[in-house]
Structure formats: C-alpha cells, structure tokens
Amino acid sequence: MHIHILGICGTFMGGLALIARAAGHTVTGCDTGVYPPMSTQLEEQGIELIEGYGVEQLALKPDLFVVGNVVSRGNPLMEAILDQGLPYTSGPQWLGESILRSQHVLAVAGTHGKTSTSSMLAWILEYNQRQPNFLIGGVAPDLGVSARFNAEHSLFVIEADEYDTAFFDKRSKFVHYRPRTAILNNLEFDHADIFADLTAIETQFHHLVRTIPANGLVIRPHHADALDRVLERGCWTPVQTLEDSSGWHATQNAPGQLSVYYQSTHQGDIHWGLSGEHNRLNALAAIAAAQHVGVTPAQSCAALSAFKGIKRRMELRGTRAGIHVYDDFAHHPTAIALTLEGLAKHLPQNERILAVLEPRSNTMKMGAMAARLPEALRQAHHTFCYSEPSGKHALTWDAQRTFAPLAEAITIKDDLTELTQAIVQFAQPNDHIVVMSNGSFGGIHEHILRGLAQRFNVEHA
C-alpha cells in the first residue's frame, strides 16, 4: 500500500512514517518547512518528503492519505482530497487499526512524564531482550530512534497523548490505541486551545479507561484527585496504585540511588544519573508495567541503572567556565517546578539556578496557568523570560504584571539577542542555567554557550 502523510515532520507523524515503512508500505509525505532532525531520519529511510501542501501531490495517487492534526480545513491539499472524495484517515486511527491491533500495547498517558516513562519502559524491555516496538515523543540515546516496528515482535510501547486526533476527530489520540497495559502518570489541566477545563480532559481519559480489557492493568499514582474522578466513572480493569500501603515504593538512599520495594519486599536498587521526584515515580511506573509483561523488578532495576536518559530532559548542553547549560522540555508550571526542585536537591547552597523560560505552548501563551509561574520558579535564583512580541507564540497576557511577585529576580525581554546577553552577563562560575521550552527557542543554548566562552575567554568546561 502507498500512503501519503500530511504533516509528516511532527514527532508523532514522523514516527508513524517510520513504522509504516517498516511494515512494508510505500511512504511519502509533506509538511511546511520540512526540517531536521526528523526530515533527515525520514530521508535516510528512503521516504520522499515534499515541501508544502500543493494540490499537485494528488498525482502521486496514494492508496490512502494519512492526516496529522496540524492540518485544518482550508489546507489546499486537504480541500482537494475532500472535493474528490479520496480515502483519508487520521494518523492515530491508521496506527491503531493497521499496527496496534495485533500488539500488546503498553501506553503511557498523563500530563507530565509521558516521554520519560515510555523511554524507560521501552529501554527496560530492550535491555532484557524483549525487542519492543515503540513510538515515543523523544529520542533516548539507549534506543537511538523515536520509533521502531517489527511485526514479529508483539510488545508495543507508545506515548499516549491526550491531544486531539485530527480536524475531523476531536477525540484524544490515545482512544485509538486500545492498550492492554496503561500507565496514567498524572492528570492536570493543559492544552487550553482544545480543552475548556480539566473535566473535559478527564472525560477523554475515561474514554481511554473504557478501552482497557479486564485482563489488562491500569497503573496510577497515589493521591491524584483527577485520576480518582476518572476511575470513579467506571473501570473494568485491575488497578495498581503506586506507593499505596501494599504496592510499589522507591526510596532515595543517596544521590543517584533508588531502592525499589514491592509489598514491602526489597526488589532491587537503581544506580543512575537522574534526579527528582518525577523520575522516581516514572521509574516505579515503568517497573510495574514491565512486570505485567514478565520482566522482574530486579531485571528492570538493572536496566534502569544503565539508562542514559532522553534528550531535552535536563540534558546538559555544555559547560563554560564552570557554568552548566541544560535543555529541558518543561513548559507547564508543575513540570517547571519539578525540574527545578529536582536539580536544587543535588546542588550545594552556594550554586545558583538560573531559569530561562519561553512560555511557548498554546496553553502558556493563552495565559491559562500564567498565575502559577512565579511559584513554580521559586527554586531559581533568577528567572529570564522571553516574551515574543508578535507571531503565533506571542503572549496574550502581561508578563511584567504576572511576574511581579518575583520582584528583582526576573528579567523579561522581547528580543532573543538581548535576553541572551542578559543571561551571559548575569551568570557566574558554578551557576546552572536551565533553559525550558517545548520548542527550539531560537537555538538559545548555543548562543549562551558562545557568549560565556567569549566573556570568560574559554572554550570548554
């Protein structure tokens, strides 16, 4: 079958393209601003990429058009597909019907930690020679790619996103996945561009729960009111609660070491370079899910001790003059707070955290949770915020007023060059600069590193 993918360079659709190619399909695709690294990864697999959504692409005569959620009515190619009555479907629906139906799907859902937890789970299975298939929203160095498929292997780990499926299907993507093992990491309000409130998201999570079979497993954290409400609406599957009186626990005995317990019995220790409460809970969820498919906790602990993390999750991008520059995907107040708190716990008191924030996501630019940002940033000695002056990521709220509680500990700029210069001049040796955005942030990490090298006349650490 020849499928043509609209919106192919997004993380999900690009991964889907790789999976379709591995399944034996002919794959082509289009997007605006065809860009690496996804474009490079696709081209290396022999997938033809076309810039834009021109109507002339109909001449490819694919058997099916697979439509990403970046495509909306008014898109010239989509309008031509509709006018001519050509076959089309959404990416999540195609994946669910063509690939996942024959797999034991292990889905990781939640507002935060989906990529980290699904990467941990896929790595546990890989390390223990279970050869999992997977589709993850980030690249773990251990796995090398964000998506992989071999029809001879039956386990499929997927990052289960609650964002909408397509312009013609406003259900969350994850309702198409039909998992047998489901991790519900957490649930908070997000995606203000498509959900009116938290209740609307809870409804989508309940739709997911309704698809999990009775011989499956739901894994959830303790003390999560929104998930309580989701499950109270109906659940037909065993539920395993992390850190309740009889379940999974993990204690941090020393920096970089976790001891894992199940039903108060010691199961193993994890020695790794990750930090923070969120990673502790992510690890517990991954271990519990792996046990559901036959991997022992001791085997999981050994795997996680060799886990190198994933890109854009407190990824150290470089050090200049003893100043460390990190890249982190955090773009929600809770994720921002967890990221900074996790770092702060492992730093001497004389080492400062400088937070660099781009409120870029649709939820953040709309201001739905802007009032929570000052508190989320409380672990930072100083915060630098980029307020885009115009364009699709421009803020709809007053950054100066919102960040007023931070008093002298905030610098706001609407020019990236000026922001970079301010950071470079403020930084001093032993500082930790944490850059947080769900986008590329104009490559600010490299600009900061170059600026620090020039200021302190150094090239490396």
Q: How far apart are CA 88 and CA 69, in angstroms?
A: 13
Please, are residues 218 and 187 in contact by the beta-carbon 8 Å criterion?
no
Helices marked H in 352-415: 362-365, 373-376, 399-402
- The answer to whether 111 is a known ligand-binding residue is yes
Output b/e per residue, 358-378; b: 16+ Cβ within 10 A. Answer: bbbbbbbbebbbbeebbebbe
Which among 29, 20, 24 is positioned nearest to 135, based on CA atoms?
20
- The answer to whether 265 is a known ligand-binding residue is no
Please list, in sequence order, all residues whose beta carbon lies within 8 angstroms of the beta carbon of residue 68, skipping any fewer than 6 positions away: 5, 6, 7, 8, 10, 12, 13, 90, 91, 166
Please, are residues 19 and 98 in contact by the beta-carbon 8 Å criterion?
no
Q: How far apart are CA 176 and CA 161, in angstroms?
A: 11
Q: How far apart are CA 210 and CA 219, in angstroms?
A: 14
Residue 225: strand, helix, or coil = helix
Q: How far apart are CA 421 and CA 79, in angstroms?
A: 46
> Across the chain, which distance is largest between two alpha carbons, in Å?
66
Q: Which two tokens stand for residue 304?
A: 């996680």
Which among 109, 127, 153, 167 is positioned nearest to 19, based on CA atoms?
153
- The answer to whether 223 is a known ligand-binding residue is no
Q: How far apart are CA 365 and CA 278, in angstroms?
A: 25
Give the count of alpha carbons within 13 A of 204, CB side only. Answer: 30
Residue 424: strand, helix, or coil = helix
- Residues contributing to the annotated binding site: 110-116
- Residues contributing to the annotated binding site for ATP: 110-116
